[in-house]
A and B are shown apart, each in its own frame.
Chain A
Amino acid sequence: MSTQVHANLTREQVEQISADLDEPEWLTETRVEALEALDDLDMPDVIRTPGRDWTNLHALDFETLVDPLNAAEDKDRVSDEGIEVLEWSEALAEHGDLVEEHFASVVDPEENYLTALSTALFSAGTVIYVPEGVDAEDVKIRTQMNSRSLFNYTLVVTEESSSVTILERQSTGDDVEGERYYSGIVEVVAGENSRVQYGALQNLDEETYNYTLKRGHADTYATVDWIEGNIGSRLTKSSVETYLKGDSSETKTVGAFFGHDDQHIDIAARVWHQGEHTTADLVTRGVLDDQARSVYEGVQDVGTDAWDTSSYQRENTLMLSDESEADASPKLIINNHDTEASHSATVGQVDAQDLFYMTSRGVHPQVAKNMLVEGFFVPVLDEVDVDELRDDLEELVAERLRE
């Protein structure tokens, strides 16, 4: 690993972050270990085509991006009856055992360089705990980033036969001169027969580099659904992943992105079928304008013991300009033949016949194009049953089209 942050990042700083949050010793140690592992860790994998790394994470200048002791933010947490939505130090004080049991159980801090960096430095944390049998809705975590860098962590634990709908959103508040870095790790532990719907809407300013990893473990009969909306940031590297560990567990991932100017959006949707009778549905749609680029990787991995698997994946990218670029690679890995699966990806432009049909009825060409783009997102938006997320995403798309 040649990229170094160590010049301005020390063990003392990490210990201070941990001490400020009143963290127990095990956690401080985990953070320090993650820091020390940085030297040996690689960047997360990116799509490569001959002669090209689509997302060059090595080019990120962490020296200037990371400001470890400043984590200014505005956070707004909205809870629901019967559950707990706690900020980090509070969660450690009230549910120390729960945090210790589940922290880093889904995402290994030392999985890659960026997860280790995030684990060492995170100061903004939230724990959502849903006790057995409780149904909760409208949980919201709104983060407004005011510092140069912000490391965010979210843990969701749902006990047996409970359910929760969560909306997390990131945006930028105060201006900071120069480039910025946002990093977020989300771990979801969905207990037996529980249901988690986790929606995210990222609308950071276009000076911000964004690394996000969201991963869930679904126990028997559990459902982990994701909605992943990306509108903002200068560069996004985001992966949404589910391990279907328990029999009859399910997941659905719905993704939408809209890149313009020279935004770079690298997203992945991944599922591992491990239990029997599991179902996955991965649907992503994205639009690119100007010189924006997108990279999509979809992985459906069917394990040896995953009998009776159903797994579907679709990705469509619509390009509005000749200068935009897109690469998509849907991957299907089948180790158990008792599988019904499909995967597809398309990259295309606005259909000239559709456009002519609409303009010949009197609709102005720009209006027709906007209607086609908004219509393109509809099948994805129809899958989103978090109203705030759907409405805001719709509005952001409409705004971007009319800039």
Chain B
Amino acid sequence: MARLELSNLHAKVAEDDGEKILDGVDLEVFSGEIHALMGPNGSGKSTTAKVIAGHPAYEVTDGEVLLHLEEGDFGEDFEIAEDKRTWNLLELEPNERAALGIFLGFQYPAEIEGVTMTNFLRTALNAKLEEREELFEDDDAEDEAEEEDVGYETSPMEGNVDEGEVGVAEFQQLLQEKMEQLDMDSKFAQRYLNAGFSGGEKKQNEVLQAAILEPSIAVLDEIDSGLDIDRLQDVSKGINALRDEQGTGVLQITHYQRILDYVEPDHVHVMLDGKIAESGGPELAEKLEDEGYDWVREQVYETA
């Protein structure tokens, strides 16, 4: 079981005199759990998500982001050595964090012209598997393994070395399956990544990518914004499937109670001025929906 742990996390915009945004965030997400992170605009929700994934626009000034893993988190055949069970994510590149099972669903997914969904996702999946191997490789065995790699490349039995662990045909099948589950039109597979997609299609595509990459922890930044009710249900179904079928832990950032009717959270957190101000169960979200954030603010500053 994986556990994402944010402790005393402070971050600012990465420039001279950059604005301080996170002011001591403490949060823990286990795989298999669904957390909702709510709060008014500008409270630091999106920044939290981006810092977890390693966005270069933010600089962490204090605190930690740790990922704790257990044997079996990457399948039965994947051995996780004891000294490689806790990772300081802040020391890792975004692609290395992805390899360890972190996924960020973007509020505004990039539109990438000229790169098909299929090509991108297969590249990402293979890169993730390859990077993971490297991260967990026994340090002593590294040199040996490299020699072996060279041997593979020249072996006529290996076929195309660019192929990666998941071949084209295998990937096509996987993609098609996941698209069907999400009720997505198969024509999206050959379209350029998010290019010309509607707002809803982009969000659906984020969930699809999570389904393919099978993250341990998925941080979904306002996945519900800009969705009509039908699409909201499709997307919600996808998020529930991540948890139920893959055991993914979900940290869902949202403004609205609406999606929580479909994706029932185990925990709800309210963020205010760069900190978690209040945590509770699903009933907290309902209270926020009815009463807004003012009472949280009052409560925090009265006790302070």
Contact = CB atoms under 8 A, between A and B. Distances in A.
A360 B98 CA distance: 6
B125 A354 contact: no
B39 interface: no
B114 A375 contact: yes
B98 A362 contact: yes
B123 A367 contact: yes
Contacts of B99: 362
A374 B109 contact: no
B123 A371 contact: yes
Interface residues of B, number: 32
B54 A360 contact: yes
B206 to A, nearest CB: 10
A401 to B, nearest CB: 13
A356 B114 contact: no
B112 interface: yes
Given A364-B131, A365-B95, A371-B115, A357 B110 contact: yes
A358 B113 contact: no
A376 interface: yes
A372 interface: yes
Contacts of B56: 352, 356
Given A352-B56, A359-B94, A360-B54, 10 more contacts: A356-B56, A356-B94, A357-B110, A360-B94, A361-B95, A362-B95, A362-B131, A362-B213, A371-B120, A375-B114
B127 A362 contact: yes
Contacts of A374: 114-115
Contacts of A365: 93, 95
A98 interface: no
B104 interface: yes
A353 B113 CA distance: 13
A351 B93 CA distance: 18
Contact of A351 (B54, B110, B115, B131): B110
Interface string A8-34: 000000000000000000000000000
Interface in B94-143: 94-95, 97-99, 103-104, 106, 109-110, 112-115, 119-121, 123-125, 127-128, 131
B55 interface: yes
A372 B57 CA distance: 20
Interface in A271-290: none
Interface residues of A, number: 23
Contacts of B97: 360
20 contacts: A351-B110, A356-B55, A356-B56, A357-B106, A357-B112, A358-B120, A359-B54, A359-B93, A359-B98, A360-B53, A361-B213, A362-B95, A362-B124, A362-B125, A362-B213, A363-B123, A372-B112, A372-B115, A374-B114, A378-B115
B192 interface: yes
A361 B209 contact: yes
The 5 residue pairs across chains A and B that have the minimum distance between CB atoms: A375-B114, A378-B114, A362-B128, A362-B98, A357-B110
Contacts of A372: 112, 115
| Most chain B CB atoms below 10 A, which of A356, A365, A372, A377 | A356
B176 to A, nearest CB: 19
Interface of B: 53-57, 93-95, 97-99, 103-104, 106, 109-110, 112-115, 119-121, 123-125, 127-128, 131, 192, 209, 213
A390 B177 CA distance: 33
Contacts of A377: 114
B115 A363 contact: no
A361 B127 CA distance: 9
A378 B56 CA distance: 28
Nearest to A374: B114
Contact of B110 (A353, A367, A376, A378): A353
Given A367-B123, A367-B127, A375-B192, A360 B104 contact: yes
A71 B115 CA distance: 43
Nearest to A351: B110
Interface in A341-398: 351-354, 356-365, 367, 371-372, 374-379
Nearest to B111: A354
Contacts of A352: 56-57
A358 B125 contact: no
B52 to A, nearest CB: 10
Contacts of B104: 360
Contacts of B54: 359-360
A335 B127 CA distance: 55
Contacts of A376: 113-114
Contacts of B192: 375, 378
Contacts of B119: 371
Interface in A170-219: none
B210 to A, nearest CB: 10
Nearest to A356: B55
Contacts of A351: 110
A300 B121 CA distance: 41
Given A371-B120, A375-B114, A363 B109 contact: no
Contact of A363 (B55, B57, B95, B103): B95
Contacts of A357: 106, 109-110, 112
A356 B104 CA distance: 10
Nearest to A381: B114
Nearest to B106: A357
A181 B110 CA distance: 44
B119 to A, nearest CB: 8
B67 to A, nearest CB: 15
B161 to A, nearest CB: 13
| Most chain A CB atoms below 10 A, which of B95, B113, B128, B131 | B95
A400 B290 CA distance: 59
